[in-house]
Chain A
Amino acid sequence: MATSRSGRQPAAWTGSASVFSGRPDPTWAVDDDVARELMDIWGALELWEGALPSAPALGYRGCALRDRAGREWSTHGDVVRLTQDRSTQSRVDPERRFERRLLSSAPPGLLPPFAAGGG
């Protein structure tokens, strides 16, 4: 029932999914190559100024990528939001490429099947 698979050294990039209630949410180290892919995806997305999609109370509520500098890209539905030094920027991701790529980088068996794209 491990929920964290970080190595001894803090990973440069960390993925997480907001999915559990009782247990701590799962986190995992994200490879640099995957992180670069995610940054490319982020760079190609268009700005979004609408409301963020709402998440259900129980079950999968989204996932996030963090770097050592404290930046966080969180996504649920078709919006990705970057939070950095208390400022945020949102971009629209209609094909949910960012979310699917990040979730697919989780080690097998870490995410429950009810996490979108996980399993």
Chain B
Amino acid sequence: MALRITIDIFSGRPNPVIELEGRAAIDALRRLRPGEKLKRGEAVPPPARLGYRGLIVERRGAGGADLPRTFRVADGRLFGEGLAHRATDEAFEDFICGSTGPRKPHMPRTFDSFAIRELKRFRKWYAVYRPPKIRLPKLRPACLCAPLYEPMWWNDAGQRQYGNNCYNYATNYRTDTFAQPGQAAGAMYTALTCASVRPAAIQDTLIDSPTANNRCPREGHLVALVIAPNWDFHWYRKGRNGLWTHKPGGTQATNLDNSGKLIPDPRTADRGPYTQFCTFMVVMHGHIKIR
């Protein structure tokens, strides 16, 4: 019959370990016998913290069958497999840590007073400790089907960057032709207005989704059409993290608007002269054709 008791108190250096055998071990087991079951609010093992955290008791050989092989003693409470009880002797830790208890190998004489001080401090803290309520962070709705934001791939200062515009980028479809809505279907827009560019994109098999309201589709990914009235069109695409990115003409793809801010919603982004928000549309991967 033997007990190995670790005073769980240090962080960097090894904790002091006490070996009890024979009568000393039997006496310790008697004092540690499970008593009253802990109430719900008490059955909370102490979390990791700096300073005294309890005793770790390892039982070796026969004896103490009403206790698990390894368990923790903290402020007179016993914690282990199937164990959440008060110890018969709730002052057992005072005995182990104090100067009247067993000798602590490799520890200076001053350790006992240090351990007792720490034990008192621990009790004071543990008496009022309540485990924090864990609130899982609200995850932004993930757009799992949306293309990756990989600006380095588009921003090659060469053919990819200069040959592909906002429409290529938003549809994630490289053509190197500065693609124009409707051109592949022989039905290119005839004016730089929502009324003209939107049906041209539909001819390319984009799906008009005016009520998408910035929500990711189940399949494909969301894009948004805006217009600089009578001068130009521009497209954004919604990424996997729910934020929008775009590629103005032959310039670099970016996740920032004209004010240098991230784009949670293109309707409210700083869009410079592209003052008209036309619609959201869905790009079904493999369905569209642009040129």
Contacts and interface: CB of A to CB of B under 8 A. Distances in A.
B271 to A, nearest CB: 6
A21 interface: yes
Interface in B241-272: 246-251, 254, 256-258, 271-272
Contacts, number: 71
Interface in A45-81: 56-59, 61
Interface in B228-251: 228, 231-235, 246-251
Contacts of B256: 57
B167 interface: yes
Contacts of A10: none
B101 interface: no
Given A21-B165, A21-B166, A58-B272, A112 B232 contact: yes
B165 A58 contact: no
A58 B274 contact: yes
A27 B124 CA distance: 78
B273 interface: yes
A18 B228 contact: no
Contact of B257 (A25, A57, A61): A57
B180 interface: yes
A18 B249 contact: yes
Interface in B180-226: 180-181, 192, 197
B232 A20 contact: yes
> Residue among B178, B197, B272, B273 with the most chain A CB within 10 A?
B273
Nearest to B235: A22
A59 B256 CA distance: 14
A103 to B, nearest CB: 15
Given A57-B258, A112-B231, A114-B228, A22 B249 contact: yes
Nearest to B246: A57
Task: Tell me the interface secondary structure of chain A in the complex.
Answer: loop
A23 interface: yes
B273 A57 contact: no
A1 interface: yes
A24 interface: yes
Interface string A83-118: 000000000000000000000000000001010000
Nearest to A55: B251
Contacts of A114: 228, 231, 272-273
Contacts of B257: 57-58
B178 A57 contact: no
Nearest to A54: B260
B272 A56 contact: yes
Nearest to B253: A57
Nearest to A1: B192
> Residue among A18, A19, A20, A21 with the most chain B CB within 10 A?
A21
Nearest to B249: A21
Contacts of A20: 231-232, 249
> Residue among A18, A20, A24, A56 with the most chain B CB within 10 A?
A20
Nearest to A112: B231
A25 B249 contact: yes
24 contacts: A21-B165, A21-B166, A21-B232, A21-B234, A21-B235, A21-B249, A22-B166, A22-B180, A22-B197, A22-B234, A22-B249, A23-B233, A56-B258, A56-B272, A57-B248, A57-B272, A58-B248, A58-B272, A61-B248, A61-B251, A112-B228, A112-B231, A112-B232, A112-B273
Interface of B: 165-167, 178, 180-181, 192, 197, 228, 231-235, 246-251, 254, 256-258, 271-274
Q: Which 4 pairs, one residue from A and one from B, show the smallest C-beta to C-beta distance?
A: A59-B272, A58-B272, A22-B233, A21-B234
Given A21-B274, A22-B234, 7 more contacts: A22-B180, A23-B180, A58-B258, A112-B228, A112-B231, A114-B228, A114-B272
